[in-house]
Chain A
Amino acid sequence: DVKVTQSSRYLVKRTGEKVFLECVQDMDHENMFWYRQDPGLGLRLIYFSYDVKMKEKGDIPEGYSVSREKKERFSLILESASTNQTSMYLCASSLAGTGWEPLHFGNGTRLTVT
């Protein structure tokens, strides 16, 4: 069974801090994604990566950056956290495959910025 592990379940940070959210998958998936989930807005794509060292902007990349130095690890970075980045962050991975491979999500990190 695919396992996508996010390093923290809950995180509280102060405004202006640099924040790292880590995600590791154990199934040799090529694709990795970061989404944020907010009530009434669904899941919105922040960044995705289809290969090591490759990254593409999603729909809401402002205020975020990512790093993918190894195939299994995809990090989301908040350069200077702000209160409007308080949210649930979900990491996901998928096989490149046919292009219709399911997303496998992590359990999420609930980030609060005060």
Chain B
Amino acid sequence: GENVEQHPSTLSVQEGDSAVIKCTYSDSASNYFPWYKQELGKRPQLIIDIRSNVGEKKDQRIAVTLNKTAKHFSLHITETQPEDSAVYFCAASRRDQGAQKLVFGQGTRLTINP
């Protein structure tokens, strides 16, 4: 089955700097790669996703890149702000029995220092 590895487990950056979180996956049939953000005490929420037919996607300060050959994808946050502090999870999936079965990485705790 699919296995997703996420690094680093913790990341601390100065406000205004950029943050990069990286994930690798094992199943070459995976075709969907979302990123979820979980603020302290709250539920995970989707912030951006990318499909396997696209190499890069950007939404304001957030971008995701995908390298299918190397089977890795990354989250890039530019001009970080205190509200970016949270745990971020990457995930990979392919359709299974009518549902998109997501396998998550271990999570990265991002801290933005003022």
A residues sitting closer than 8 Å to B (CB atoms) are 30-31, 33, 35, 40-45, 48-51, 56, 58-59, 90, 94, 96, 99-103, 105-108
**Interface residues in B79-114 (C-beta closer than 8 Å to A):** 89, 95-107
Q: Are A100 and B103 in contact (CB under 8 A)?
A: no
If over half of B's interface residues share one DSSP class (helix, strand or loop), that class is named, otherwise mixed; here it is strand
With A43-B89, A56-B96: A100-B101 Cβ-Cβ less than 8 Å: no
17 A-B residue pairs with Cβ-Cβ distance under 8 Å, sorted by A, are A31-B99, A40-B9, A42-B105, A45-B103, A48-B99, A90-B43, A94-B99, A99-B95, A99-B100, A100-B100, A103-B36, A103-B46, A103-B102, A105-B43, A105-B44, A107-B42, A107-B43
Task: Give the number of residues in B that approach A within 8 Å (Cβ atoms).
Answer: 28
Cβ contact of B51, chosen from A42, A45, A50, A100, cutoff 8 A: A100
Give chain A residues whose Cβ lies under 8 Å from the Cβ of B6: 42
**B98–A42 touching, CB < 8 Å:** no
Which label, helix, strand, loop or mixed, suits the secondary structure of the A interface?
Answer: loop
Residues of B within 8 A of A (CB): 1, 4, 6, 9, 32, 34, 36, 42-46, 49, 51, 89, 95-107
